Structure 1
Amino acid sequence: MVDTSRHPEPATIGQLRDSGHRARSVKAEIRDNLVAALRSGRNPFPGIVGFDDTVLPDVQRALLAGHDFVLLGERGQGKTRLMRTVVGLLDEWSPVVAGCEIHDDPFEPICSRCRALVASDGDDVAIGWRHRDDRYTEKLATPDTSVGDLVGDVDPTKVAEGRTLGDPETIHYGLLPRANRGVFALNELPDLAERIQVALFNVLEERDIQVRGYAVRLPLDVLVVASANPEDYTNRGRIITPLKDRFGAEVRTHYLDDVDEEVALITQEAHLVAAVPAHVLEVIARLVMELRGSSSVDQRSGVSARFAIAAAEGTAASALRRAALTGEDDPVARIGDLADVLPSLRGKVEFEMGEEGREVEVVGHLLRLATAATFRDRVGGSDLLGFTAHFEDGSTVETGDLVPAATLLEQLGTIPGLAHVLDRVGVDEESVSPGQVAAAVEFVLEGLHLTRRLSKVEADGQTIYGS
């Protein structure tokens, strides 16, 4: 929570003037703060992963140029998250005329009420302070959004009070005027009806608004940022050409193409209720990349980062469920938990028409590819004879979503070379626990199966590995 009591001291326009405050437009304010951040080496877009060399330079150029811009990309590429970080480039506090609906600059008011107030009271006009978090306005564009929602409309209550229709005070301001001297973000812009998109022309070009033909000019000071999915996917609408032309820049976003970056994003965004080992997160990251490259998946819709985040959260929840039912004190997710969770995530992926009824099979196949790749990367070349020797006499190992870590480890006994495997999968030797050891062991058993060194039978929630 922001402590709104810790704002600067000036309480009137006169005191603000005496303090040496210098008025700047929103875009100049963002430009100055972005330049300062770049010069100091501070990250101006915290929490944005994998865009450092691609998307962010384009966004920085757009902001430095003072351009409104559109972020164009498939779902789950972080467009909304990126838009929300822009507000961090505003000054922490901004002075406004106290009581103004559109947050007028005390030195340059634009609404009739504030102009009259300054004309009559001058430097004695009271000011307030607005935190930068309150200067961000976000609207999800929907087909039923009206011009009144965005720009404004006549307020019948004010008319009923006796004011004439020609009085500017009868206007009820929409979201855009109320975002004056801030950032206005419009999500899913193509979903906005074309006739409503026309209402944005004046805002983006002339920087003013018109309400029902009123002779009202409000030169708004606002940065407009929008997001959109590619038109060839949504088919629900489009950004009309004249509106496209009024945006200063179109920035293309993309999915991450590096496993480590995908893991970093999952780690940052997922709320995990149990421990999920690094090798399991890596399998999830590789699975998402396999889905994004699969011919069985509709690539026009993309595979959102939310799939990976939900998979990690579901896998952790599976481990917590096992602990609750079996009495484990140390819930740690295993590779089998991920396999159990994936069927519930089918709704996050759109498959090609010919794959109807095969969704679980497709995802399962890609999971095996991701697991095998992670196994080769993490454990490839290691001496695993200590594991395979256990099965030489026909012994088996049973695991499953309700098999506790202790039960799994008891079946194997002492395993030569286990310490090396734990190191390769990223388990800290000083904080190792039975749950982490069991997760590593199950991962190795599954890897040995996928490389055709162990057999596997699955039935009734149980998995049996054998020679």
Structure 2
Amino acid sequence: MKKEITFKELKDSGYTHKTINQEIQANLIARIKAKEPVFEGLWGYEDTVVPQLKKAILAGHHINLLGLRGQAKTKIARSMVNLLDEYMPVVKGSEINDSPFQPISKYARDLIEEHGDETMISWVHRSDRFFEKLATPDVNVADLIGDIDPIKAATLKLPYSDERVLHYGMIPRANRCIFVLNELPDLQARIQVALFNILQEGDIQIRGFQLRMPLDIQFVFTANPEDYTNRGSIVTPLKDRIGSQIFTHYPKTIALARQITEQEALISKEDKAQIQVPGLAKDLLEEVAFAARDSEYVDAKSGVSARLTISAMENLMAAAKLRLIESDAEKTTVRLLDFLSVIPSVTGKIELVYEGEQEGADHVAKILIDKAVMTQFEMIFPRIPKLEKEGIKAPYTDVIKWFNKNSLELNFDDTDQEFYAKLNSVKPLSEIIGEYADQLSPEDQNFCKELILWALTINNKLDKSENEKAFTFDSAGIGKYYSS
């Protein structure tokens, strides 16, 4: 915390007053010239959202971030705090962060008039210059702008006509700060109207008080597309006063999606050391989200949040951790079987259309996992033919024949040694891996063996039965009874 100083000492230090726009712009320009990252951790936005943000800041605009859920809108807004100066001088005791150079409250004006250069100046850290409000339906004008405080009037023995009886709301208290209003369409239209003058003219009205108060605020709004939300919309005159509207989007590649999940998932260092996650398992997790965004069972207007894969990764690691605890092993590797543990993460993050509701959330989640499995499978291995041509041996014929005489039970709580010993007992799997996936790491190769079995069951070449403890793979239908 910086030491309090007098107004004279502040002026002697060479400090000059800057508006919040000038402050953010100066720090943005400095970062760009120094080739430093401006918005860190926003993967996939480098060539789309970030350039638009830079232009909006340089233009001095208020910003509306428009996008579906889980597209880092709030993260973008919060990251703008890093473009503020580390400390900001304010008149000590001011409720609304008055600048000593341009005081706007009666308290600060009277104090400077009385003490002049001896007025005490305190400092506000950039972390305290971020205000955020979720636009719930119960928000009212008093919350945002202010109201008359009868207790203050009685305590100070002041009439209601005195400006000092006002209790400032969140917006005046965010003077010289960043103010984020999340889910703007949820804000009632009459409350949105109250923002008109603040955004344009800079004056506020509280219970009949007409205060010419030029608030210095960087507004950032977030909203879902209006054609999605059924709860309200942004009134046109308010939208007209917001300088830049920037559309966000989901990651466009699996690699970018993986970076986001790895950055955001809360995984302890201890768990990372004990639990190995094959690269293909990470990719498959992202494929589930991509499959959901393209699924006919999922409401596309609602979107599929990036939180789906973040939560799913945490569940995936939890499943592996539980196995470690129960088996008393030191290390384990995530398996395809563990993906059943991500179903609660999927069902809680998607909104289903009518057809999806008929299928049921759990069943839709399994369909999405199956679709992701097939997408990943076909990137590595040849497609599974629906019918085998006579005299032509398909790549998976030997695997299918193996199951005509055998079955394979894979337990969730098997140690890695037990689990992979069972998988390796299916010799034809190793032959397929050697032909098509020899370049992959040993962990990915083991994962591929499960991938092949899963893909064969999806294509009805094998049967798969499931209970609370294990998966059993067997010959499809009654084929095993007629095997040679």
RMSD: 2.7
Q: 1:345 matched to which residue of 2?
A: 346
Post-superposition Cα deviations, 1:63-94, rounded to whole Å, max 9, x if no partner, equal 11000011111111111111111111111111
Q: 2:410 matched to which residue of 1?
A: 399
SS at match of 2:319: helix
Residue 295 (structure 1) aligned with residue 321 (structure 2): no
Post-superposition Cα deviations, 1:291-334, rounded to whole Å, max 9, x if no partner, equal 11112111111111111111111111111112222222214321
Could you tell me how far apart the structure 2 residues matched to 1:426 and 1:203 are?
59
Q: 2:261 matched to which residue of 1?
A: 266
Amino acid at match of 1:285: E
SS at match of 2:329: coil
Residue 213 (structure 1) aligned with residue 208 (structure 2): yes
Deviation at 1:378, TM superposition (A): 5.0
Distance verdict in 2 for CA 1:170–1:374, change over 3 Å: same
Deviation at 1:448, TM superposition (A): 5.6
Could you tell me how far apart the structure 1 residues matched to 2:337 and 2:194 are?
53
Could you tell me how far apart the structure 2 residues matched to 1:389 and 1:410 are?
19
Whether the 8 Å contact between 1:76 and 1:305 is mirrored in structure 2 is yes
Post-superposition Cα deviations, 1:154-204, rounded to whole Å, max 9, x if no partner, equal 111111121111111111110001110010000001111111111101110
Distance verdict in 2 for CA 1:380–1:271, change over 3 Å: farther
Q: 1:60 matched to which residue of 2?
A: 54
Post-superposition Cα deviations, 1:208-246, rounded to whole Å, max 9, x if no partner, equal 322111132211010001001112221101111110011
Post-superposition Cα deviations, 1:369-402, rounded to whole Å, max 9, x if no partner, equal 2122223435679xx99x9599478344321322
Could you tell me how far apart the structure 2 residues matched to 1:177 and 1:291 are?
43
Whether the 8 Å contact between 1:279 and 1:426 is mirrored in structure 2 is no
Amino acid at match of 1:132: R
Q: 2:186 matched to which residue of 1?
A: 191
SS at match of 2:333: coil
SS at match of 2:204: coil
Post-superposition Cα deviations, 1:340-362, rounded to whole Å, max 9, x if no partner, equal 33145313211111222413333
- Equivalenced residue count is 453
| Structure 2: gaps of 5 or more residues | 384-394, 476-484
Q: 2:41 matched to which residue of 1?
A: 47
Whether the 8 Å contact between 2:131 and 2:174 is mirrored in structure 1 is yes
Q: 1:173 matched to which residue of 2?
A: 168
Whether the 8 Å contact between 2:143 and 2:170 is mirrored in structure 1 is yes
Structure-2-length-normalised TM-score: 0.86
Could you tell me how far apart the structure 2 residues matched to 1:378 and 1:24 are?
58
Structure 1 stretch displaced more, 274-283 or 124-133: 274-283
Q: 1:111 matched to which residue of 2?
A: 105
Whether the 8 Å contact between 2:132 and 2:181 is mirrored in structure 1 is yes
Could you tell me how far apart the structure 1 residues matched to 2:150 and 2:451 are?
67
| Structure 1: gaps of 5 or more residues | none
Post-superposition Cα deviations, 1:97-123, rounded to whole Å, max 9, x if no partner, equal 111111111211111111111111111
SS at match of 1:356: helix
SS at match of 2:228: helix
SS at match of 1:234: coil
Amino acid at match of 1:371: V
Could you tell me how far apart the structure 2 residues matched to 1:332 and 1:99 are?
57
Q: 2:450 matched to which residue of 1?
A: 442
Deviation at 1:125, TM superposition (A): 0.9
Amino acid at match of 1:369: K
Could you tell me how far apart the structure 2 residues matched to 1:389 and 1:362 are?
27
Structure 1 stretch displaced more, 211-220 or 302-311: 211-220
Q: Find 1:456's aligned residue among 444, 456, 464.
A: 464
Residue 121 (structure 1) aligned with residue 115 (structure 2): yes
Could you tell me how far apart the structure 2 residues matched to 1:143 and 1:83 are?
22
Amino acid at match of 2:454: E
Distance verdict in 2 for CA 1:334–1:215, change over 3 Å: same
Could you tell me how far apart the structure 2 residues matched to 1:268 and 1:142 are?
29
Larger-gyration structure (1/2): 2
Distance verdict in 2 for CA 1:36–1:378, change over 3 Å: farther
Q: 1:362 matched to which residue of 2?
A: 364
Could you tell me how far apart the structure 1 residues matched to 2:111 and 2:437 are?
72
Residue 151 (structure 1) aligned with residue 145 (structure 2): yes
